[in-house]
Amino acid sequence: MTLASLIMVGSLLCLGSGAQDDGMKPLFNGKSLDGWIGVNGKEGNWVAENGLLVTLGNGGGWLSTKEIYSDFQVSLEYKLQAGGNSGLLIRTPHVGATAYQGIEIQILDNEDPRYAQLKPFQYCGSVYGVVAAPRGHVKPAGQWNSMEVTAQGSKVQVVLNGVKVVDTDLAEHPESVPTHPGILRTDGYIGLQSHSEPVEFRNIQIKTLK
């Protein structure tokens, strides 16, 4: 077999093993905050370093994409300290409380004692205040967790560390609209919350859906 033939066979094998382009594109370049903007927080609270997007946890507010998205699949990895609290915001406006005027997918160190008495829809992976995610799928503080969220129309799916923890149609939750009107939104910004503890993010990617 010629060298050219070997190269062709190798390429076909790679494609067959799932190496083809899955359509995901980086939202974070690993080097700077290009494409992002801070909202309602102290300047300097978010930094890009060593391939990580980091909130120092002392400025509040949130970090927003500059671009608006409608239907999409977004994935990331995050690492919390003990008691860490954050959130992946989707279809969120730049005004109003993010968890209510937009949609928040909770990111939380579930097992910290300070969170022992939360409501089910306040734990990690939940559509905050609306749809509860089952517990037991979060890695301990200090370890990397993966999260993937798909929003298409009124349907939202959350995969946490490879486990589907939410698969819901927000249109089926009219009782939540008075307090969480953001579930009616069809587009908005994607963002990351900052609370009182540092949180690290990496491998933030997105694929727009039709």
Task: Answer yes or no: is 16 within a domain.
Answer: no
Q: What is the CATH number of the domain that holds 40?
A: 2.60.120.560
Task: Answer yes or no: is 1 within a domain.
Answer: no
Task: Answer yes or no: is 129 within a domain.
Answer: yes
Task: Answer yes or no: is 137 within a domain.
Answer: yes
Domain encompassing residue 32: 21-208
Total domains in the chain come to 1
Task: Answer yes or no: is 11 within a domain.
Answer: no
Task: Answer yes or no: is 10 within a domain.
Answer: no
Give residue-wise pLDDT tens across range 81-104: 999 999 999 999 999 999 999 999
Task: Answer yes or no: is 5 within a domain.
Answer: no
Give the mean pLDDT of the chain.
Answer: 91
pTM: 0.89
Percent of the chain clearing pLDDT 70 (strictly above): 90
Task: Answer yes or no: is 2 within a domain.
Answer: no
Give residue-wise pLDDT tens across range 131-144: 999 999 999 999 99
Do 107 and 158 contact (CB within 8 A), yes or no? no
